[in-house]
Amino acid sequence: MRMQAAIMFEQGKPRPYAQSHALEIETVELEGPGPGEVLIEVAAAGLCHSDLSAIEGIRPRPLPVVIGHEGAGIVRECGEGVTDLKPGDHVITVFVASCGTCRYCVRGRSNICPAGNAARAAGTLMSGAKRISRLNGEKINHGSGLSLFAQYGVMARRSMVKIDKSIPLEDAAIFGCAVMTGAGAVLNTAKMQAGDVIAVVGLGGVGMNALFAAVAGGAERIIAVDANPEKLGLARQWGATDAFLATEADVVEQIRAATDGGVDTVVETAGNIKAMELAYAITARGGRVVSAGLPAQGANFSYMHSGLVSDEKSILGSYMGSCVAERDIPRFLGLYQRGKLPVGSLKSGFLPLAEINAGFDRLSDGTVLRQVLRPNM
């Protein structure tokens, strides 16, 4: 079938992207689903900082590629062997497909499945196939096995979770990355308990979902840290008890003084080394830093090792919120349906494929939380 897709041919194009056309809209060919694969109509896809990092060239991708890794859609066709889905079903996509049988998958760590990550790095589906082609026959790589910046997508069955049709797909899309990564970092990786004191450094879509999860989980005190005063104001509206401007020269001293020597659990979601350094500096003795933000490849975070030992601090990575998608997406959707995860309030507007580059300009400016692409609008 033919469809419209946003293709990235080159990374690192200059801003504004609306002029440099970081993503180029083309008509492409999409093959039908192979065995174990599903064709979906993409109803909604979030514009995420991970996509922006790919556009900036901070995180290399095989080119050309259709990116887009956070979304929801409607099943239109199932490949051979897919018997638990049918056309018309609604699904949330998952940006790390998993094999289900390796030592990581069987231990409940499917988010770091080597087979899924190898396919992601190669720009293929789990089967090794590439289902998107330009009209001249040139194969296009798949971004995260999903390629959601397009009208339709073919992906592995294990790259999606079926959801109830009553959930608006524009809200459901945000669960595919921002909710899993942010809420999962708090509830899964940090294992926050009611009454804990927690800080969130970086208040983008992922950070705000970490904040929501801390509120839902009953944190006694929630410290919000960001360089944008407007986001700090929103964080206070949504449950933060304290807010600190990251650009203040003495912000570390301010936070440590306000928390009697530091915070027990700090979740870093900004994806840069300065944010990670701040997060580590405000962590109390015996506390832990959970990093869910992805910096540039090759970026290094350093610490004084003797202090790590004598202060008994912990540094934990959190990829996809340490989530098992089939387990955690329904759990998080339950919180959403009870009003505990108000992800709909994060939406900063909708846009068609033709405006996707302008959307990434706004995201780069830091003026939005979650813009939602409707590629078929």
Indicate the domain borders of the chain.
2-176+342-373, 182-319
CB atoms near residue 138 (< 10 Å): 10
Give the burial class of 266: count Cβ atoms within 10 A of its Cβ; 0-12 exposed, 13-18 middle, 19 or more buried.
Answer: buried
pLDDT of residue 113: 96
- Same CATH topology for 2-176+342-373 and 182-319? no
Q: How far separated are the first and last CA of the chain, in Å rounded?
A: 18
Residue 59 has pLDDT above 90, yes or no: no
Q: What is the DSSP letter of 33?
A: P
pLDDT of residue 333: 98
**DSSP per-residue letters across 104-173:** HHHTT-GGG-HHHHHHHHHT--TTS---EEETTS-EEEESTTT--SBSEEEEEGGGEEEE-TTS-HHHHG
What mean pLDDT comes out for the span 271-288? 97
pLDDT of residue 296: 87
Token match 């998993």: residue?
A: 98
What mean pLDDT comes out for the span 287-316? 94
- Quick check: 123 and 142 in contact, CB under 8 A? yes
Confidence of residue 367 (pLDDT cuts 50, 70, 90): confident
Q: Give dist(CA 141, CA 132) in Å, integer.
A: 7
pLDDT of residue 84: 97
- Quick check: 346 and 208 in contact, CB under 8 A? yes
Which stretches of the chain are DSSP H helices? 17-20, 49-56, 103-106, 114-122, 169-172, 178-184, 205-216, 229-237, 251-258, 273-281, 305-310, 325-337, 356-365
CATH number of 182-319: 3.40.50.720
**How much is the mean pLDDT over the chain?**
97
In this structure, whether the domain defined by 2-176+342-373 belongs to CATH 3.90.180.10 is answered with yes
Residue 377 has pLDDT above 90, yes or no: no
In the chain, what percentage of residues exceed pLDDT 70?
100
Residue 136 has pLDDT above 90, yes or no: yes
pLDDT digits (tens, 9 = 90+) for 74-111: 999 999 999 999 999 999 999 999 999 999 999 999 99
- Structure tokens belonging to residue 283: 């962590």
- Quick check: 220 and 239 in contact, CB under 8 A? no
CA-based torsion, 82, 84, 86, 91: positive or negative: negative
What mean pLDDT comes out for the span 192-212? 97
pLDDT of residue 297: 85
